Amino acid sequence: MQEDHIHEMTMENYSIFNQQIEDAGGLDLMLLGLGSDGHFCGNMPLVTKFESLSYEAEITEEYPWYGVFADIYKAYDQPVARSSVTMGPLSVLKAKEVLLIVSGASKAEALDRLSNGPITEEFPASVLRLHSNITVIADEDALQLID
């Protein structure tokens, strides 16, 4: 990939990131993973709002997923950030195609809930069902609860 085709979202540019994507013609493909708690990108349970474009999300110890962030920062010998930026649900849904990769038995319940549960902000990935062109690639372990 050409260096000038890589655009990192940061605290400094997240508020204009969506406009930059739109000005460049939009996203052809959004590649995502599914978290066992239903998160995708940084769209975590308890903080995700479906109407959000790219946004800054607070990181506090009260959230059940705080440990995940703490482990990541610890691996880099860094203190846990107070917030992070991510592409929100509306940003992701604007992509022409979404490819969701799901792997492992620990994701089986999440994949089942994504496929069959209600669309709710408590399970952020549920919003992906609203995309008109989504492909899910899952291994046998992740598919064990799907009929």
Note the pLDDT of residue 123.
97
Closest by CA to 20, choosing from 87, 84, 67, is: 87
Q: Considering the chain, what is the average pLDDT of its residues? A: 94
Give, in degrees to the nearest 5, the angle at Cα 140 between 135 and 142: 70
Note the pLDDT of residue 80.
93
Question: With 90 as the cut, is the pLDDT of residue 38 above it?
Answer: yes
Q: How far apart are CA 36 and CA 107, in angstroms?
A: 5
Strands 97-102 and 29-33: parallel
Confidence of residue 47 (pLDDT cuts 50, 70, 90): confident
Question: With 90 as the cut, is the pLDDT of residue 5 above it?
Answer: no
Closest by CA to 133, choosing from 63, 50, 29, 46, is: 29
Task: Give yes or no for a contact between 143 and 108, defined as CB atoms under 8 angstroms apart.
Answer: yes
For 51-83, what is each residue's pLDDT tens digit? 999 999 888 998 888 988 899 999 999 999 999
Confidence of residue 127 (pLDDT cuts 50, 70, 90): very high
Strands (E), the chain: 29-33, 55-58, 83-86, 97-102, 134-138
Q: How far apart are CA 139 and CA 49, in angstroms?
A: 29
Confidence of residue 27 (pLDDT cuts 50, 70, 90): very high
For 81-104, what is each residue's pLDDT tens digit? 999 999 999 999 999 999 999 999
Question: With 90 as the cut, is the pLDDT of residue 119 above it?
Answer: yes
